[in-house]
């Protein structure tokens, strides 16, 4: 995606004084603060290693790959497009949730870096290995996570 072009189009769509909210969330991963949880957390690092063992060390994304990782620097992109800001807010963190084995598997497959089509004919083998890994960590198939804050960056189109 040409992020600067998208930001410029969004800028032009807004009236002066209008705002754009960039949502930064890692909703597929809980907080690294695991203190006081009633049970095991999903073994995220081991899941990442398992995905890499099937798909290789370079992170996949859709039909392509991200050899340098996911692009960041949204602040530079939005400022270059003409937005002023940001004002930042953090919301929603700290709740504790139980997650089932099926929910963890669904989270893994929801990522562009581990979408089911990327595994081709090895999908069933990966699914079996993923579920075996999860059962090694939690024989009950239940995992616990504390939610991470969701970061809101509020950008404004300056009034004339």
What pLDDT band is residue 138 in, cutting at 50, 70 and 90? very high
Q: Return the beta strands (E) in the chain as ranges.
A: 19-24, 59-61, 64-66, 84-91, 96-100, 142-146, 150-156
**C-beta of residue 62 within 8 angstroms of C-beta of residue 1:** no
pLDDT per residue over 140-158, tens digit each?
A: 999 999 988 888 999 999 8
Tokens for 39, please give them. 């049970």
What dihedral angle (degrees, nearest 10) is formed by the CA atoms of 120, 126, 113, 116?
Answer: 50
pLDDT per residue over 48-102, tens digit each?
A: 999 999 998 876 666 665 555 555 688 899 999 999 999 999 888 788 999 999 9
What pLDDT band is residue 16 in, cutting at 50, 70 and 90? very high
User: What mean pLDDT do residues 34-43 have?
Assistant: 93
How far, in Å, CA of 138 to CA of 136, rounded? Answer: 6
Tokens for 102, please give them. 């099926």
SS3 39: coil
Using the structure block, give the residue that is written with the tokens 């969330």. 25
pLDDT per residue over 93-133, tens digit each?
A: 788 999 999 999 999 999 888 999 999 999 999 999 999 99
Dmax of the chain from CA atoms?
61
User: What mean pLDDT do residues 16-23 have?
Assistant: 94
Q: Where are the domains of the chain?
A: 3-156
pTM above 0.85, yes or no: no
Using the structure block, give the residue that is written with the tokens 């953090």. 90
């Amino acid at each position: 995606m040409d992020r600067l072009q998208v930001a410029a189009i969004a800028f032009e769509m807004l009236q002066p004084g209008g705002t754009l909210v960039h949502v930064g969330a890692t909703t597929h991963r809980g907080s690294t603060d695991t203190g006081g949880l009633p049970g095991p957390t999903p073994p995220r690092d081991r899941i990442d290693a398992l995905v890499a063992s099937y798909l290789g060390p370079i992170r996949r994304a859709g039909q392509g790959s991200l050899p340098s990782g996911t692009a960041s620097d949204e602040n530079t992109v939005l400022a270059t497009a003409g937005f002023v800001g940001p004002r930042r807010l953090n919301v929603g963190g700290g709740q504790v949730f139980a997650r089932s084995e099926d929910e963890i598997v669904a989270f893994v497959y929801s990522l562009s870096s581990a979408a089911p089509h990327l595994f081709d004919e090895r999908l069933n083998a990966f699914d079996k290995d993923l579920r075996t890994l999860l059962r090694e960590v939690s024989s009950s198939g239940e995992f616990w996570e504390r939610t991470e804050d969701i970061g809101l960056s509020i950008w404004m189109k300056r009034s004339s």
